């Protein structure tokens, strides 16, 4: 995985261990889980819970704090993915933050379309930081293209996100986000190579 940083990465890390739950919401496939997992690579003692998994979901539904504390154990960070699927998630999160305070960090992600916030708003008043994640902004797209896909590498100019991104290059990227080739659109031979490489890449599906 590339080390591309979303704009919320640093603000989220600054909110760690301040006695509040961090909630990351957003539409499906905007990168909520990827963002949190990328941040948590820097930390040890993390427990990952996915509410799409019935076993994880049942472990968190309508439990008292003694049960939750024994379940979490010595882990310092609790990451609950797809938290909106858990019955009574607001009260569960309230129990955790009220008892752990700054000792442990609780992070929950969920789809805004499934109303994670409406399920937690009353119990978590004053107990949460909320980040609404959207698809890549123009600045993030420019940053991604320049720093990770080298779309301006041959221009010899250091550009920032305020400068319009222009390149004659095509970048061929596979499903794992690996660069498979960079092609100059002004070179007919490069375009032939691109077509052939696309055909070969499609055979890998």
Structure tokens at 11: 């603000």
Tell me the sheet residues that pair with 173: 179
Q: Is residue 160 part of a domain?
A: yes
Range of the domain at 50: 9-132
24 lies in the same domain as 124: yes
Is residue 1, in this structure, part of any structural domain at all? Answer: no
- One digit per residue, pLDDT tens: the chain, 205 residues? 445 667 789 999 999 999 999 999 988 878 899 899 999 999 999 999 999 999 999 999 989 999 999 999 999 999 999 998 998 888 899 999 999 999 999 999 987 644 566 666 667 888 999 998 877 666 676 676 666 666 665 545 555 555 566 678 887 877 776 778 888 888 899 999 999 999 998 888 6
Tell me the C-alpha to C-alpha distance, in Å, between residue 179 and each of 124, 173, 183: 43, 5, 11
**175 & 83 share domain:** no
d(CA 121, CA 142): 35
**Is residue 4 a part of any domain in this protein?**
no
pLDDT tens digits for range 31-78:
899 899 999 999 999 999 999 999 999 999 989 999 999 999 999 999
What per-residue confidence (pLDDT) applies to 193? 93
Asked whether residue 27 falls in the same domain as residue 116, the answer is: yes
* 100 and 74 belong to one structural domain: yes
123 domain residue, yes or no: yes
21, part of any domain: yes
* The pLDDT value given to residue 13: 95
Statement to judge: residues 189 and 162 lie in one domain: yes
Instruction: Give the contacts of 68 (CB within 8 A, at least 6 positions apart).
Output: 60, 92, 95, 96
In this structure, are 48 and 127 located in the same domain? yes
Does residue 172 lie in a domain region?
A: yes
- As a whole number, the mean pLDDT across the chain is 83
Please check whether residue 95 lies inside any domain of the structure. Answer: yes
Please report whether residue 3 resides in a domain: no
Query: Could you give the CA distance from residue 116 to residue 24 in angstroms, rounded to a whole number?
Result: 10
Cβ contacts of 90 within 8 Å, gap of 6 or more = 119, 120, 121, 122, 123, 124
How many distinct structural domains can be found in the chain?
Answer: 2
CATH number for the domain spanning 94: value is 3.40.50.300
Same domain, 124 and 156: no
């Amino acid at each position: 995985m590339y080390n591309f940083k979303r704009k919320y990465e640093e603000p989220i890390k600054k909110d760690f261990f301040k006695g509040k739950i961090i909630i990351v919401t957003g539409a499906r496939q905007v990168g909520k889980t990827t963002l949190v997992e990328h941040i948590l690579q820097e930390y040890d003692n993390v427990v990952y819970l996915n509410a799409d998994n019935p076993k994880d979901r049942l472990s968190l539904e309508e439990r008292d704090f003694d049960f939750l504390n024994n379940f979490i154990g010595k882990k310092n960070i609790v990451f609950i993915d797809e938290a909106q699927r858990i019955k009574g998630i607001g009260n569960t999160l309230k129990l955790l933050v009220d008892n752990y305070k700054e000792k442990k960090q609780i992070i929950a992600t969920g789809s805004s379309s499934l109303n994670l916030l409406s399920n937690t708003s009353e119990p978590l008043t004053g107990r949460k930081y909320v980040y609404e994640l959207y698809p890549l902004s123009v600045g993030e797209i420019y940053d991604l293209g320049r720093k990770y896909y080298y779309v301006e590498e041959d221009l010899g100019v250091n550009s920032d996100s305020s400068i319009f991104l222009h390149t004659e290059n095509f970048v061929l990227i596979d499903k794992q986000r690996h660069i498979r080739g960079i092609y100059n659109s002004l070179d007919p031979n490069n375009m032939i190579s691109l077509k052939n490489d696309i055909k070969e890449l499609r055979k890998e599906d």
